[in-house]
Amino acid sequence: MAQDFSHLDSKNQPGMVDVGEKQISSREARAQSIVFLGPEIVDQFVQAGWETKKGSILQTATIAGTMAAKKTSDLIPLCHPLGLDSCKFDYEVQVDQVLITCICRLEAKTGVEMEALVGASVAALTIYDMCKAVSKAIVIKETKLIQKTGGKSDFKA
């Protein structure tokens, strides 16, 4: 059985989901973006301590991702404005790529998946921006939800 789209009403008109009757609960979401840099660029930045003329790549990505996660409802039209309790980032530097994980948490009537996805995405874009002078072959490979808890249903990829 196909599930209805939550942001369309019975007349197929878009709108925010009404969360007025929902109970407040603890909610957490983890999203991941992967930035392929290539082994030469990763090695170069590891040797440089991830510092560039523009500043620290990973610190700047964290700040940009956090700012974006907090502004998700300004970017995605039907998202509820949420006050995040926490927005954290983890980076796993591999031989040729960086795995970015954004973890958002709050107590609310609605989930925080979009905030985690936006945070991870903007952190990836920031890494791209800070590294583009070295290579134009950088690829943001994927952004995906990897886990969510709280609310109606939990999810783990």
Q: Which residues are marked as active site?
A: 129
Amino acid letter for position 132: K
E-strand ranges in the chain read 25-36, 51-52, 55-56, 86-93, 97-108, 139-149, 155-156
Contact 17, 7 (CB under 8 A): yes
What tokens were used for 29?
A: 């979401």
